[in-house]
Amino acid sequence: MESQELPECPVCLQPYDGVCAIPRVLACGHTVCETCLVNLPQKLPGAIRCPACTVLVKYPPEGPSTLPKNIELLRLIPGSGSTRKHVNKSPHDSRVPFLPRSWSDEFYSNWKIYILPSDAVERQKVSLLAVGSFSTGGEGGSGFTAGYFVRVMDCLSGMKEGEREELGLVLSAFNKQSSRICRVLGLWGDPGDGILYIVSEKQEYGNFLDKNLCGFEKDGFFNFAMIGMEICEAVIALHKEGLIAGCLGFSCFQFDDFGHVCLNLSEVLLIGREVLEVVAKVGSSGKKIGDGEIVLLITDLFKRDVFVSPEVLLELSEKEGIVVERGSSRYSIRYSSDVWLLGCILLRILVGEVFSDELVDYMCHIIVKGSENNELDCSSAYMSVMEKVSSLLGTKFGSEYVSLQQILCKCLEFNPKNRSLVTDVWKYIRELVIKPQFDKMVKLDGASYDENRGRCLVVGKLFLLSRERIEIQEKDVSQGMETNGAANMVIGLTEGSIKSKDLQGHLDCVTGLAVAGGYLFSSSFDKSVKVWSLQDYSHLHTFRGHEHKVMAVVCVDEEQPLCISGDSGGGIFVWSISIPFAQEPLKKWYEEKDWRYSGIHALAVSEIGYLYTGSGDKLIKEWSLRVSSLIYSDLHCLCLHLVKC
């Protein structure tokens, strides 16, 4: 006599007991073990879906332990003292999500703190710098749309390692309030245009260009000293974080509520992109440019009040594929490259536009001749421009500030190693305001930098994410997904680029899908198998004949294609999928079925001509589909053997 089947949980299939799989009764009357109830998803607050009947039932906030225990089921368990091995289950839900994440948990924890909510940014009140792009989702409601956070994280994970490293360096260094550097608030993706931005504070009191603070007279020298000192402090703060600006303009320096100078990093990168645009206008990739083009280039930059050191300008030209005749990047970019910018800005503030005119010839001379080992030639050009600057300063301020003129002119040495230190410039300007004997309490520590550690913002990976490149990325997303969307379903769904099509015709639940011969086959509880065209998604035919719910469908896509369907009554129907579609199946078989079980639940076919059925009697059966000719005369001899699960 067969032993009695023990009642088991419909989710984990473990027999109920009073310790590990405690049966709890839901409001619909079905029973589920307490452990599985904890892991069931809550689609609505305080409600779960019964795994047996799929009805939404109330879920107590205290947990499943407050639900009634099914005492009657426990009474059916023989030997109350019997024990069985406890199955350890993770308290966390281990279900695989519908869209697998393209990033790791470590990546998520590192970047989530920088992502701002989609509705947290007002464009007029912050500075924005585009650094990436993401999909805006399906259009017209016809596509799957991933959430805002998922799209931003996918954009970050899709960046190159170098780009992401520099972005993280900027965010981590200036995410908190820093003296003289505008705070970087985080990353924000605009759901409208699909652009990912760095968001920085924007000071409400304008910048140097707005205030027109250039060309100080002698009575305004104290104001110059205060502003110059704070500009130096901003550059020092940048260098302390291992960053080199590479180029600066007056728009980079803004005034806070107290009138102090702050450096906006977003403006620095925007200025860098502006420099690159000017370089691209002068020459194209692979083209050589000479003295005339360089003069036009530098003049154009100075008219915009944008300053860039010679070594950075050469580096940017090389990245654009533009070759400077007789010129090359003889000196590497280092912290002293920013000293050149500092000297240009301070002298431009003191002297006015006349200084820019004098600097054009000198900078052109350095770029063209500086790589030819013409040390003497460059030195003479340097001395010439310094004499002119000295004359301008002497005319304006007299001989009182000769030492200031010397230290600022030293910032413009063609050899970066010979330029003044930022700290030295700061100390001297400070002495113009506070005499050394009264300034013993202030010390500038920690201002020594490792030249090998410095990263130049405007020639780095992050800088190359210009708006033109972002537009190209957007074009690739919109065009590439149309042609290759089926190749990577997960990426397409995540980016909201895969469109859906509704096929309506079944009267009950759809239980299975199969594809063969350019057709889609669907089985359903309505006892039918429908055929759909994959060209225009129209309904072509309906296979009828099953007397029970059709639970599964498979296809054999060979020389003579077949569609095979199985129902809950144990019926297996073989249909020809050659046009015209037949109304009757080629063959029917009915496997032996016990009244306690529910027929066929699964079908599979092998490459060697075997059909496998999974049934409610816990057996997998193997059937032969081999035929002796194109006529299926041997299909009535199918059942070969049983395989015990």
The CATH code of the domain that includes 417 is: 1.10.510.10
Which among 530, 551, 564 has a CA at the least distance from the CA of 632?
564
Q: Is residue 539 part of a domain?
A: yes
Query: In this predicted structure, what is the pLDDT of residue 532?
Result: 93
For residue 94, the tally of other CB atoms under 10 A from its CB is: 7
Q: Are both 128 and 25 inside the same structural domain? A: no
- Domain identity same for 423 and 281: yes
- The 10 Å Cβ neighbour count of residue 590 is 13
Structural domain span for residue 614: 510-644
417 and 316 within one domain: yes
Q: Rounded to an integer, what distance in angstroms lies between the CA atom of residue 109 and that of residue 333?
A: 34
Q: Which of 500, 526, 558 marks a domain boundary?
A: 500
Main-chain dihedrals φ then ψ at residue 506, nearest 5 degrees: -75, 150
The end-to-end CA distance of the chain, in Å, is 21
Q: Is residue 25 part of a domain?
A: yes
**Which residue has tokens 């073990």?**
33
Strand residue runs (E) in 278-434: 288-289, 306-308, 323-324
Contact residues for 482 (Cβ-Cβ < 8 A; gap 6+): 497
CA angle, 310 then 314 then 317, to 5°: 140
Using CA atoms, how far apart are residues 565 and 423, in angstroms rounded to an integer?
A: 82
Could you tell me if residue 89 is inside a domain?
no
* CB-facing half-sphere around the CA of 629: CA atoms within 13 A: 2
pLDDT of residue 26: 92
What does the alpha-carbon distance between residue 507 and residue 172 come to, in Å, rounded to a whole number? 57
Based on the domain organization, do 70 and 128 belong to the same domain?
no
The domain that holds 520 is classified in CATH as 2.130.10.10
* pLDDT reported for residue 314: 81
Distance CA(179)–CA(262), nearest Å, equals 8
Same domain flag for 316 and 442: yes
* Closest C-alpha among 51, 145, 140 to residue 496: 145
Residues in the chain: 645
What DSSP state is assigned to residue 645?
Answer: -
| Structural domain includes residue 18 | yes
| 414 and 356 together in one domain | yes
| Domain final residue, candidates 474, 500, 526 | 500
Is 150 within 8 Å of 189 (Cβ atoms)? no
In our burial notation (b when 16+ CB lie closer than 10 A, e otherwise), range 385-411 reads: bbebbeebbeebbeeebeebbebbbbb
Asked whether residue 578 falls in the same domain as residue 473, the answer is: no
- Helix, strand, coil % (nearest 5) of the chain? 35, 20, 40
- Per DSSP, 420 falls in state P
Are residues 344 and 407 located together in one domain of the fold?
yes
How many secondary structure helices (H) and strands (E) does the chain include? 17, 27
Residue 31 is predicted with a pLDDT of: 92
- Residue 77 sits in a domain whose CATH number is 3.30.40.10
* Domains in the chain, number: 4
Q: Which residues of the chain have pLDDT under 50?
A: 1, 80-96, 139-142, 326, 329, 371-372, 446, 466-471, 474, 476-487, 627-645
| pLDDT at 549 (0 to 100) | 92
Among 84, 99, 121, residue at a domain's last position = 84
Judgement on whether residues 289 and 198 belong to the same structural domain of the protein: no
Cβ neighbourhood burial of 520 (10 Å; 0-12, 13-18, 19+): middle
The DSSP bridge partners found for residue 48 are: 57
Q: Are residues 366 and 432 in the same domain?
A: yes
Residue 334 placed within a domain: yes
Q: Which residues of 343-370 are buried (b: 16+ CB within 10 A; e: fewer)?
A: bbbbbbbbbeeebbebbbebbbbbbbbb
Shared domain for 62 and 39, answered yes or no, is yes
pLDDT of residue 513: 93
DSSP category for residue 503: -
Counting other chains too, the contacts that 467-475 makes at CB distance below 8 Å and 24 or more residues apart are 467/130, 467/273, 470/130, 470/132, 470/133, 470/195, 473/132, 473/133, 474/133, 474/194
pTM greater than 0.85: no
Asked if residue 105 belongs to a domain, the reply is no
Residue 457 lies in a domain: no
309/426 same-domain check: yes
| Residue 100 domain flag | no
Distance CA 148, CA 527 (A): 42
